[in-house]
């Protein structure tokens, strides 16, 4: 009795193969997390793994309770120091990873291994807190496969090849996939856990609430994505008119343009779409990358915006603003109308005063030039044309403008005459204000790259642009882009075509000169990522309701419930038909060999009893027929080896021996 209990206890102990797969599964799960967490956690993981391996080899003892407690306290102290005492999502993930790693030192029985695997599945979910791309999802699936393989290995009674183990784990995941898809489509859309922002995962549009000379010149050298646009139910405007407005800067301190702090409090001018020309409207969906600010992007004059989380509204300045900073990827829909067809309200006197204000004793030469236009009695249009003709004369478009002095506008207009889009927009807006014309600087993006695979436009950071908006009494706000007067190819053909040859390779990392095959591969990857973001990550209650109406004819609970039960029923039927049923219909190679062996033995006058093992029957047959006794002994020995020792080799040898058993 004591020997049996001891054998049972030994069966529970973690064996070599169990431990190896547990460590492999842990490494796969925590690898993407360690890349985001403090670097000293790599040392903790390496040290714990080395210690546990020495325990298995019998060269070191299990740590005592005091040692394990000390290691836990040290890890917590390290996290406190690394995050400056801030208790946030990242520090909590670090604590989970520490617990996951230290659990290795307690691995002794199957129960310990199972607890470690359960922690591993939780750790897989935390991978999505840092990124939610399709590649991350595929890696999470692979992580789950390794955890399932480690789970299966704990209870395996025979040795299996690595390929068969991975195939078994992947098969279980694939069996669960259809049900997971049904649950994803049908279940109520609750805010995902990964909407909690993490400091290290914050993206950036590249510009802030201010604009100074040189800001956008540095930004266009980035190839990061700002947002993606899909036009819906309307013909998109010509790409030259892709002016994506983000901010309207209306305060100038002599060098830097600033955003009025009351920009989101101005009441919006609500205009029904039915009162506007249909061919003037543009409807589109935008997938915006996180940038930690509240402003959104739109074409021309937006008249409607729809967003689930965060919510959005249109301000009196014709801008779209969210009710909270955009800390995660956001999707929203907007409708814009061409500025010429928008019914602008008259400009209030206070707004006019603010939009014509310039600093005292700032840029005196530019002020004198604009003053002559006023004395000559030029109209607003004439002032605009005169200023643009000035830029066409001898100005130069470059990413490497000279440094400007205190009077930056004067230095640019009358000295260097070399600059980027913010130089032209800033100086032009200053001239208009000095000429008593309301004007403001608009910061956003121009252009984009069309992706034919998913029918959308990708707006990159390298498309960053600045232009001006001028107020006309009878027309309202009119876009004026002084950059187009200097470098029209920037607007018509893109940034790289407007720059001199020695500067083009600096734009977006020189990808404009990449071979076509590389551009095609990149477009395919970007299209796949956009489809994932749009149809999976951005799948909200609005899209769910539209899908139910399209497929089920409505969103009534009985329709959804019936569809869910029907889908699950079909999955169960398919599982029974294609997975369970074939297992009973198609015997294995070993079953076929045993069946042949039984038929041969029946001809010898011996029938195997239902509860009689192959080894016992073979030895009984050998005693009755000495001529086949050596072969029977071999069958008995091989059947026991295949049953207890395991391994594909033992099974195949038994099959070959049974098939060679001589017929009478």
Given the residues 481, 526, 601, 632, the one annotated as active site:
481
CA-to-CA dists, residue 167 to 109, 161, 174, 404, angstroms: 26, 10, 10, 65
Residue in 109, 138, 144 with CA at minimum distance from that of residue 124: 144
C-alpha span between 401 and 403 (Å, rounded): 7
- CA 345, 236, 268: angle at the middle one, nearest 5? 25
Hey, which residues does 420 pair with through a beta bridge? none
The packing angle between helices 65-82 and 89-102, to 10°, is: 160
Exposure string (b/e) for 26-38, b if CB count within 10 Å is 16 or more?
Answer: bebbbebbbebbb
Number of other residues whose CB lies within 10 A of the CB of residue 52 = 23
Identify any residues that bridge with 304 across adjacent strands, giving them in sequence order.
Answer: 335
Number of residues in the chain? 664
Residue 407: active-site member: no
Active-site option among 75, 421, 601, 632: 421
- Alpha-carbon distances of 29 from 19, 101, 105, 137, 365, rounded to whole Å: 15, 11, 17, 12, 64
Query: 28 near 143, Cβ under 8 Å?
Result: yes
Cα–Cα distance measured from residue 612 to residue 637, given in angstroms and rounded to the nearest whole number: 15
| β-pair type (396-397, 418-419) | parallel
Does 465 participate in catalysis according to the annotation?
yes
Find, among 384, 392, 390, the residue nearest to 487 by Cα. Answer: 392
Q: Please, where are the H alpha helices in 253-379?
A: 349-355, 364-375
Among 555, 654, 660, 569, smallest CA distance to 614 is for 654
Here the tokens at position 55 are 């325990």
Looking only at the bridges linking them, the beta strands covering 301-307 and 243-249 are unpaired
Which one from 291, 423, 465, 651 is the annotated catalytic residue? 465
Supply 304's token pair: 């409607």
Q: Render the burial of 604-617: b for 16+ CB within 10 Å, e for the rest.
A: eeeebeeeeebbeb
Name every residue whose Cβ is closer than 8 Å to that of residue 587 and which is 6 or more positions away in sequence.
Answer: 595
**What residues are annotated to the active site?**
421, 465, 481
């Amino acid at each position: 009795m004591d020997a049996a209990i001891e054998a049972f206890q030994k069966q529970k102990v973690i064996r070599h193969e169990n431990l190896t797969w547990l460590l492999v599964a842990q490494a796969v799960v925590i690898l993407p997390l360690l890349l985001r967490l403090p670097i000293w956690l790599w040392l903790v993981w390496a040290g714990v793994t080395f210690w546990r391996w020495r325990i298995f080899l019998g060269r070191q003892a299990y740590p005592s309770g005091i040692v394990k407690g000390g290691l836990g306290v040290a890890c917590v102290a390290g996290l406190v120091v690394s995050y400056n005492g801030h208790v946030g999502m990242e520090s909590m993930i670090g604590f989970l990873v520490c617990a996951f790693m230290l659990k290795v030192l307690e691995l002794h029985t199957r129960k310990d291994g199972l607890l470690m695997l359960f922690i591993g599945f939780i750790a897989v979910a935390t991978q999505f807190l840092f990124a939610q791309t399709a590649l991350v999802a595929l890696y999470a699936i692979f992580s789950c496969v390794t955890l399932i393989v480690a789970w299966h290995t704990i209870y395996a009674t025979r040795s299996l090849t690595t390929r068969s183990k991975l195939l078994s784990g992947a098969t279980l995941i694939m069996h669960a996939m259809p049900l997971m898809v049904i649950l994803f489509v049908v279940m109520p859309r609750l805010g995902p856990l990964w909407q909690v922002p993490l400091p290290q995962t914050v993206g950036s549009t590249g510009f802030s609430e201010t604009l100074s000379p040189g800001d956008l010149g540095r930004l266009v050298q980035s190839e990061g994505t700002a947002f993606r646009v899909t036009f819906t139910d309307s013909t998109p405007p010509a790409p030259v008119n892709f002016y994506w407005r983000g901010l309207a800067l209306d305060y100038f301190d002599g060098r830097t343009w600033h955003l009025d702090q009351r920009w989101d409090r101005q009441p919006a001018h609500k205009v029904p779409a039915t009162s506007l020309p249909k061919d003037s409207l543009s409807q589109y969906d935008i997938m915006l990358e996180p940038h930690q600010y509240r402003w959104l992007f739109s074409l021309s004059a937006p008249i409607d915006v729809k967003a689930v989380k965060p919510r959005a509204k249109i301000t009196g300045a014709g801008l779209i603003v969210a009710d909270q900073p955009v800390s995660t990827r956001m999707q929203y829909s907007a409708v814009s109308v061409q500025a010429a067809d928008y019914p602008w309200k008259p400009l209030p006197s206070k707004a006019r005063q603010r939009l014509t204000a310039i600093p005292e004793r700032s840029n005196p030469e530019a002020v004198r030039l604009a003053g002559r236009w006023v004395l000559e009695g030029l109209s607003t249009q004439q002032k605009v044309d005169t200023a643009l003709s000035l830029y066409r004369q001898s100005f130069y478009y470059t990413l490497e403008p000279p440094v400007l002095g205190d009077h930056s506008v004067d230095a640019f207009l009358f000295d260097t005459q070399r600059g980027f889009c913010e130089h032209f927009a800033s100086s032009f807006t200053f001239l208009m204000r000095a000429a008593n014309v309301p004007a403001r600087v608009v910061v956003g993006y121009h252009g984009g790259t069309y992706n034919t695979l998913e029918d959308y436009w990708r707006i990159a950071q390298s498309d960053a642009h600045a232009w001006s908006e001028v107020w006309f009494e009878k027309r309202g706000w009119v876009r004026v882009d002084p950059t187009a007067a200097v470098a029209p190819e920037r607007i018509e053909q893109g940034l790289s075509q407007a720059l001199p040859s020695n500067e083009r390779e600096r734009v977006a990392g020189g990808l404009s000169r990449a071979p076509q095959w590389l551009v095609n591969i990149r477009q395919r990857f970007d299209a796949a990522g956009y489809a994932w973001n749009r149809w999976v990550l951005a799948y909200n209650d609005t899209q769910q309701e539209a899908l139910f109406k399209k497929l089920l004819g409505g969103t009534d609970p009985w329709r959804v419930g019936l569809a869910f039960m029907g889908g699950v029923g079909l999955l169960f039927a398919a599982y029974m038909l294609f997975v369970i049923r074939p297992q009973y219909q198609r015997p294995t190679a070993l079953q076929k060999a045993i069946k042949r062996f039984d038929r041969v033995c029946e001809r010898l006058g011996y029938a195997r009893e239902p509860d009689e093992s192959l080894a016992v029957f073979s030895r009984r047959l050998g005693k009755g027929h000495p001529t086949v006794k050596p072969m029977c002994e071999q069958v008995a020995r091989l059947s026991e080896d295949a049953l207890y020792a395991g391994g594909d080799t033992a099974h195949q040898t038994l099959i070959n021996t049974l098939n060679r058993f001589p017929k009478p």
